[in-house]
Structure formats: C-alpha cells, structure tokens
Structure 1
Amino acid sequence: MSAGDSGHRFDAGRRWEASLSLVFAARLSGAAEATRTRLIRARHHGPLRVQRPFYPEQRQIDLADPCHVYLLHPPGGLVSGDALKIGVNVEASAHAVLTTPAATKLYRADSYGVVWSQTNRLEVEDGGILEWLPQETIAFDGSRGEQRTEIALHGEARCLGWEIMALGRPASHLPFESGRIEQRFQLTRDGRPLWLERQPLDPVHPRFVGRWGQGEATVQATLWAAGLPDPGAAVTTVRAALPANPSWAVTQRHDVLLLRYLGGSRNEAWALCCAAWHALRPLLAGRAACEPRIWRT
C-alpha cells in the first residue's frame, strides 16, 4: 500500500491529514477613512473549514473593524492518526478574532496506540491584532497525541489567547487514567523567544498527582496576552477583576502576561478566562470585549 493511501489504513500506519490556511488584511470600507479586516484567503484540505466572516462590533473610525471567524472541524474531535494543521496570518493593522463553535474532543487511542496531532501556527504582522479564543478541549481517557501552538509576532503586533483543557469526564465517572498528551507553546517577537513551554500530561507520572505538579486537577487553563502597553499594570487590572480564588494566578514574564488556572471545573476556568479577557481587551485593542454569538448557543 502506498504512502498516499495511509489515510484509508486501519493499522499502525494510519494518518489522516487536514489543514486550513487563513490570511486577514485591513482594507478600506465604504465609509471614508474607515477600514475593515477582510478574510482575503482561506485554503483548506480535508475536514477543516470556516464559516463566513462576521462583523458584530461597532465601527470605530480610527481602528480596523475586527473580523470574527469560527473554525469548523465537522468530526468534532481527534482520533488516532488525525493530523490537523491550522495556519493564521494577520497582516499589518488587521484585527482577527477566532473561536470554535463547540468543545474539541480528544478521543481514546486505538489498539495500536497511534497518536493524533494538532499544530497551530499563528503569525501577526506589525500593528496587527489576533485574538485566539477556542472553546475548551476535552481529553478522553486513553487519548494519545500532541498539541503545538506557535505564535510569531512582528514589530508592534499584539495577541491574546487561551487554552482550556479538561482531562477525562468526571461527570460520567470516566477519569483520565491512561494515555499521554503533550502540549508545546512557543511565542516569539521578531524571532526572539518570549515564552517557551513544554507540558506532558501523563496520569501515571508522579507530577500528575503531586502537589508540586498537577495535583490531580482535572481542568487547567492558560491565558496569554502579548503587546500590552504596560503589562505590569495589566496584571493589577486582572487581579482586581477576578474573584479571590486559590485556583488561579497571574504574572508577567518579559512583555507577556500569563494567567494560569488549575482546578476541577470547566465552567470556573471558562468564566475566569472570559473575565480576564473582558478586563484586558480595552488595554490591548482599545475596544470593549464583544463575545462571539456562538458562545451563547
């Protein structure tokens, strides 16, 4: 069987690829001296799509209208052999807001233990803004794979995003007891590393249950913001906006603000990230938060 047929295999050699490439650019709109962010290119292979662009925010003459886009993966989750690649480029002065219509599910590996992978490569040019706001990811017991997020900022580019991970399905009495997921994050500005992180999630490793590590928490979240005019003041703003709770902490590293959550509630993690986003968006983008409508359906 040839390599090109690997997507139809059901043995240890299976591989099902899908990709999506998006480019956003600021373009003059009908109103004089007003600009709007346009999705000028959308190329896909396999089951990755986008819905049409949305413009739910009030126009501001001095700022490009943000373009809201929903990333669609019709299967709804990743299985053994899936290899998803998402590439996003936000050109100078453009502003894109990306989210997903539902949670992403990471299903149990097959009998061969074939892994899945998802790679997100996000690039923002000088003066551009990207908001990467996917709904949560749910890892089923026995899932095996790698998530990789690479963010390249240029000049005065700005970016805010989050990753919320729920391990297992406690409500169904199905905890995350086997498998292995590796998360990798890389954020650079003009090629200089600002934040590099590798996190293995392995339920049989002492880190997973130790108080010095995962502490048996079933939900974790990381929110990042880069390009804030005063990251130190933004940390104070976030702390004032969130309820006192030992499950979260916020700090600054270089010019990157990082909010961490470690606990047992997806709803709590989501609410904290949303509250932090509401507090940070006016500082990052000069606009009040405008929640995608899909979050309320």
Structure 2
Amino acid sequence: MTAYQPIADYASGHRFDQSRRWAASLELGFVARNEGDAGRISRLVRRRHHGPLRVQRPFYPEGRNGCCHVYLLHPPGGLVSGDELRIEASAGEGSHALLTTPAAAKLYKADSHGVAWGQHTRLHVAKDAILEYLPQETIAFDGSRGQQTTTIELETGARTLGWEVLALGRPASKLPFATGELEQRFHLSLDGNPLWLERQLLDPKHRRFTGHWGQGGATVQATLWAVGLEDEASAIERLREALPDNNRWAVTRRRGVLLLRYLGSERNEAWALCEQAWHLLRPMLAGVPAHTPRIWLT
C-alpha cells in the first residue's frame, strides 16, 4: 500500500480562494506477532501522521490476544472548507484490528467561496486478517460541500466489517440540509478485482433528494458491509429475524459482500440498527462476540 504524501504547499491553508487546503493524514499498520508465552498478539507497528489527525495508543479490551482497538482522533472535530483528511490503515496477515472514533464527525457549511472539503479512507486487509471500521456518525450541516471516499482492498482470505452513518442537517434545531452538495464513493475490491463500486450525490436541490425513487426526503442513512462470512444466506436470515420489522432498512448480498441499508429520519435508530447487526455478525465473521468500544459509552 502506498503511503499518503502530504500536500507540499502548507501555506495554501492560509488562502481563501479555490486553492485553499488544510491537509492532514494518518497511516496505521497492524501485524500479528508471536510473543513467546504471551501467544499471538495484534500490534500497531506503524503510526505516521501529519496535521491534526492521530491516535494515542491501542487498547485490548478483549484480552491481550484479542482484537486491537484504536481510536482515530481529529481534535478539530469537524471539516471546514479546504480541509483534506486522508486515513490509511493496513492489517497484516493474521491480525485483527478495530478502528472507531470518539465522537460524531461534523461537516460544516462551506465558506463564501464554496471551497469543498475532502475525507478519504483507504483500508488494506491481508490474508487471514480482520479489519473492522466502525466510526461514529457523520453530521452534515446545511451548506456543506465535499467528498467522502472509502476504498477497501482485500486479499484472498481477508475479512472486514464496517459502516457509515450519515445524518443530513439538524432537524431538531429546525436547520435542515437545504443547500450544499455531498459526494460519497465506495470501492471494495478482492485481489484487485472490484466487488462493490458505488457513487452517491446528495444535492437537496435535485429532485432525486425528495423523490420516492431516490432519497425520499430521508435525513439519515446508513450502510453496513461485511465480507468473509462463511454462510451469507444464514447471516441474512438471522438479521431479518432479529432486527426491527419496518420498511426503513433492507439487507442483501452480492459477489460475496453483505450490505445492510437504512434510510429514515432517526440517527439513534440507524446507529442502534448497525450496532445490533454488528453484534449478530461479528461472531459469524470473527469467531468472537462483539465487544463494545468503551469510547461509545462516554
């Protein structure tokens, strides 16, 4: 995996035209090590950062031989015009890591020049490794403009489970997502061959946003994915039996990728749905029960 090269012109962050950029990057690498009597342990062995994006230390709430939990920290707490975040993480053969965030991410209104922000996540999972990507939700403020990309590269035998939860506007404060434009891209591949490619544009001025054939006026959406399940059909049946019986979510599979979607108006409902699905799927994917990250409870 090629390391991210920070933007060379650091002074561009002080501009206020279309060339304005504030770059931040984080590169993480996990490996599984045999450490004598301690057994096999997943270690964070590479940690490089540029700008306000970093991790403090790994946690082992599932035991020292269990999954390595890491919290992705972005002290500003949100993205403004010109911000450019890049996160790369690789799980080496046999390792198991879980990435999450300490709080919701916020996408703020664009500046008077309409300069966009960018957030790009790239995950690489080697043979027999497991990487879970479970960030807390993202809240897009009215007028926000930017692009989110998620790229997941798997080797044969790799397993992954993750989600993205997006809340548009702040309806409780009577501040809907009425202007702006968001673009989301997902690219998941196995040994270089694409399994799931998706591009979504969210423009409240487009009829797709309110049309029943599109967004349908929904203000919260979520996508959960899982790759590496031995019996996808059984997993889907268990989800349909256990999750709430309503028309705001659906689950399917295609080319070895299980996808669960939510489209509604409640952040808490979307989060609870994803978390419940994770608790059901993780034992089937990783052979161990889900262990809620402590940071979610603070």
TM-score class, shorter: over 0.9
For structure 2, the residue ranges without an aligned partner over 5 or more in a row are 1-7
Counterpart position of 1:243: 244
Q: Helix, strand or coil for the counterpart of 2:277?
A: helix
SS state at 1:243 partner: coil
CA deviation digits over 1:116-135, x for unaligned, max 9? Answer: 00100000000000000000
Query: What CA deviation, in whole Å up to 9, does each residue of 1:32-72 have, x standing for no partner?
Result: 5x21110001000000011210000046xxxx521000000
Moved over 4 A (4+): none
What is the correspondence of 1:89-168 to structure 2 with a 5 Å cutoff?
89-168=90-169
**In structure 2, distance between residues paired with 1:241 and 1:117:** 36
Q: Using the TM superposition, give the Cα deviation of residue 13 of structure 1 relative to its aligned residue in structure 2, in angstroms.
A: 1.8
Write the mapping of 1:143-292 to structure 2, written as runs, cut at 5 A: 143-292=144-293
> What secondary structure sits across from 2:37 in the alignment?
coil
Determine if contact 2:16/2:113 at 8 Å carries over to the other structure. no
RMSD (Å), alpha carbons? 1.1
Structure 1 residues 197-219: Cα deviation after superposition (integer angstroms, max 9, x where no partner): 00000001111000111000000
* Matched letter for residue 61 of structure 2: P
Determine the C-alpha separation between the residues in 2 that align with 1:237 and 1:99.
25
TM-score (norm 1): 0.96
Normalising by structure 2, report the TM-score.
0.96
Partner residue of 2:5?
Answer: none
Please tell me the residue identity of whatever aligns with 1:174: L
Aligned position for 1:11: 17
Percent sequence identity over aligned pairs? 66
Residue 73 to residue 255, structure 1, CA distance change in 2 (3 Å): same
CA distance in 2, matches of 1:253, 1:232: 11
The amino acid that maps onto 1:52 is: R
Could you tell me which residue of structure 1 aligns to residue 40 of structure 2? 35
Report the Cα offset of residue 29 of structure 1.
3.3
Q: Distance in 2 between matches of 1:182 and 1:290?
A: 32
Q: Deviations over 1:10-48 (max 9, x none)?
A: 23221000000000000123535x211100010000000
User: Does the aligned pair in 1 maintain the 2:90–2:125 contact within 8 Å?
Assistant: yes
2:26 is the counterpart of 1:25: no
Partner residue of 2:62?
Answer: 57
1:93-137 deviation per Cα after TM superposition (whole angstroms, max 9, x unaligned): 000000000000000000000000010000000000000000000
| CA distance in 2: counterparts of 1:198 and 1:231, whole angstroms | 24
